[in-house]
Each structure stands twice: as structure tokens, then as C-alpha cells.
Amino acid sequence: MADGPSLPGVDDEHSDEERIVLHVDADCFYAACERLREPELEGEPVVVGMGYEPGDTVGAVATASYEAREFGVESAQGIESALERLPRRAEVDDDPELSRKETGYYRPVDMEYYQSVAEDVRAILHDCADVVREVSIDEAYLDVTDRTAWSVADGFARHVKDRIRREVGITVSIGVAPSMSAAKIASDFDKPDGLTVVEPGTVGAFLAPLEVDLLHGVGPVTARELRSMGLETASDVAEADPNVLVDRFGERGRDLYEQARGEDDRQVEPKGLPKSFSRESAFDGAVEEPEPKLEVVDRLADAVAARAQREGAMYRTVGVKAVTPPFEISTRERSLPGPVDDPDLVADIARDLFAEFETEPVRKLGVKVANLEFSEVDQASLDGWEGVGGGADVRNTDGLREESADAATVSDGNSSEVNAGAEHSRKLHEYSSDSRERNDSSASGGADSTSGGADSDTNNAHESDPQESEPPITPEETDDGQLSLGAFANRKTAGDK
């Protein structure tokens, strides 16, 4: 196999089926932290409020312990409403009609303290895994592929749980699966203090009977819409027409479709700016005719270019990936002289790089843009160099061509443009440093998906937001019913409107 850059996943030593991903989610984290410093709260209903001070009736519930939830107290609920369902324990002495069993404890949010507890948990997670992606203060993904094996993955996860319980004093729920999305769903499957293992080859069967509410990022509104379409379970979503879902929910509809099918090849990587954006699509079987393949190449090129624009990124590299029978992966890349934001150019280069595969049987295609730059740097235009005098602001808005100031084309504050008038082929070959890095490899033990053209969207590093490549979480509430600080601020703003 020749050395050289490749698309995401090509150089991985392990196939997706072999990967062992843990999703670790602390149970009612804020309430658990309060119990650490007040052990007498163990087993009692505990409510942690944002914007709440002891004795007040203002604020909102950030999290409620499972005992408090039995009284109808929920995250994002107003404190006044929560008190109607679960009065304060301190009020027992003043109200003879109240019993201790009908009351609970209310505490204000103490983020500094919660962060200190989270640091202790974080240290254990980093000690147990080579790669950790921290999603929030109370949850993280771990890739432990090089630390354990599927035959003992259950025991490894129990070891992580036991260390956190023993060394920190809180409980966590863990999902173990070959992919991030399946691990996330598995961690929610048996809360609190749960452990659910979804082994390779069983992801589809695990997801199929689950109600749509249990898919990651599906809140009450989305669940109602899915049910109005006759989609009650993950299996229903997996068998739906993806185009119908995209029409209804936008690109999120495709995320739901892929998640329900267990299609997720995202790598667990630390949070930060992504290094590349890629999208792949698999055929039902090997396709030899050029046109269907080129149509997919164009669609994938448009998708990754649009994604880069949404994220405010320019790119220096365009690449393609082709999977041919039985499972041979080939990649081609081309580097550009400077960062660009040019969807047409991405499509042109992708087609050019894919030319050698036009008549070969292909099972799966991929297109990526890489070597991303997010700062407001000058953009090299492959038609020439475009400049705006006076240092015009760099804009990256869908529908507007991005412009930037370049000293080489600005004279006395006046804008000038040098247009090379190059044809597409000249753009590709004269202005680009053609580095067709070949990376042909045979992958054994990993079956290629036959998704009938389903696309997968990948960040080669880590996205600015979890979702974004991970499916989006509902904005007000995290998966264990804990309201985030940012969400509370958004809720108040929305309420003011």
C-alpha cells in the first residue's frame, strides 16, 4: 500500500465493526454532586435550581433526582411549579398537613463545585482510554479499542463504573457499542447506574424495536412529527424513504435515517475544530455505469462544500474515496495553492479525481475537503486573485461569494481583479499542485454497508458542536433530564419574546 494522505477511516487499523466505543453519562449529575457534600440527601428527593436562591420561588429546575421525578418535578420546570408538586422539607414544621415523605430538598446551582467533581471523573476517563471526547460536564465518549476486546468489553466498562463510584462517589451509566450513536442510545437504555453492551452485528436488532423518542436528539416535537408520518419505531425510520425525511426535517432527517439504521462511522476524537468534512454514500450493489456514480460524486461534493460554508471554513485539499469489490479502498487527493471556498471547484476536482473509477464497479463513494482554515485569511481564487480595497470584511454567508483583501491585488485602496480566464481543466492542473496520493488497501473483516445510497457525514477531527456530527440534542434539556446553563439562558430569552 502506498503512503500518502487518505480520507477519514482509511488508515484506521480497526474496522468500524471492531471499534469499541463507550458513552459515559453521569446520573443526575448536579443532584449527585449535592449528595456528595451532603450525604444525608442520599435517597431523598433533590432539586437543583438555576436562578434559584434558598427560600425563593423563582428560577427553573436544572435537574431533579429520580426520587423528585416521582412527584412530577421535571427539568426546565419553573421552581414555583416544582414546589406545588414537591414542597420544601423545611416547610414541614410550618405546615401540619405536610409529611416528610411528601417533601424534598432544593439547592441552587453551584457550577464551580460541579466542575471540580467533573474533573475527578475526567481524570479517570482519560486514564482508562487513549481517546476521550468530552461532550459536556457530565458525559463523554471513549474509544477503548486498543485497551480491551469485545469478549471482555462488559468487564472493562464495569471497571470504569466501579472506579468512578469508588474514587469519586457518583454513579454513571455506560453504553458500549461499535459506534458513537449506538453507544449513546445504549447508555440511556438502563438508567440509572446502568450498563448496556451492543456487540458488533447486533446494532440494527438493538435499535429496531425502540420507540422514536429514544433516538438521540428526538424530542417531543420531532417524535410527534415522526408519528404523524406513521413512524413509531427506529425500524420504521430505517425503512422510510430518506428523501421524505430530508424534505420534512432538512439534513437532520438524513441524520435520523442513518442513526436508525445504525450507520455511523464517526471517530471518537477530542473536541475542537474539525480537520476535514466528508460525506460518503453506499450503493445497494457494485455499480459500473459512470452516470449514477458521477451523480453521487456531484451530490457529495455539494454537500461537503455546503457544510464547509455553514461552518465558516475554507479548505486547501479536496479528496475522493472509492470502495470496489470485495472491499478495496482507494483514495485520491489534490492540494490547492491556498485556502478556498468554491463549491464548483470542489465538484470539478472530485469528478477529475474520480475519473479513473468511472468504469470500475464501485460499492461506495466519498468526497472530502480537508486542511481546513477557520480564521479570516485571504482566499485564493482559482480564477485569479480577488481583492477588495480597504481590507473588506471576510463574509461567509450562504448565497454570497466570499471576498477578502489581498495586498497583491490592491493598489491605492482600489480593488482590482486578475482573471486568468482558465478553463476547468486548467484550474485543476495549472493552479493546483496535483498530488494524487494513492492509498490502495484491502480491508478484511468489515462488511461494507448496503444502504441504498444513504450518506454519512463525517468530521475527521472533531466538530465545533456534538450532534453536529452527532445527532442534535434538544436545546433545553440533556438526555438525563438535566438543564444546561446555556439552555436556561436561551429559554429565558425566548420567554421574554
Cα–Cα separations (whole angstroms), residue 272 to 8, 139, 396, 443: 16, 16, 20, 29
109 neighbors 63 (Cβ within 8 angstroms):
no
Measure the N-to-C terminal CA separation of the chain; round to a whole number of Å: 60
Annotated ligand binding at 143? The verdict is: no
Which H or E run contains 370? strand 362-370
Say which amino acid occupies 109.
V
Q: Which residues are catalytic?
A: 139
Rg of the chain on CA atoms, in Å? 26
Q: Are the C-beta atoms of residues 31 and 45 closer than 8 Å to each other? A: no
What does the angle CA 250 – CA 255 – CA 261 come to, to the nearest 5 degrees?
135
Residue 427 contacts residue 348 (beta carbons within 8 Å): yes
| Cβ neighbour number for residue 436 with a 10 Å cutoff | 13
Cis omega (within 30 of 0) for bond into 39: no
CB burial of 170-204 (b: ≥16 within 10 Å; e: otherwise) equals: bbbbbbbbbbbbbbbbbbbbebeebbbbbbbeebb
Contact 363, 282 (CB under 8 A): yes
Task: Name the region of 146 (left: φ>0; alpha: ψ -120 to 50; beta: rest).
Answer: alpha
Q: Which pairs from 189-197 meet CB under 8 Å and 24+ separation?
A: 189/214, 191/25, 191/27, 191/480, 192/27, 192/28, 192/66, 193/27, 193/161, 195/154, 195/157, 195/158, 195/161, 197/153, 197/154, 197/157
> Rounded CA gap, 157 and 31, in Å?
23
Phi, psi of 454 (to 5 degrees): -70, 135
- 193 has binding-site annotation: no
Q: Residues 25, 173: contact at Cβ < 8 Å?
A: yes
Q: Which of 417, 435, 411, 415 is nearest to 337 (CA)?
A: 435
State the binding site.
25, 138
State the binding site for Mg(2+).
25, 138
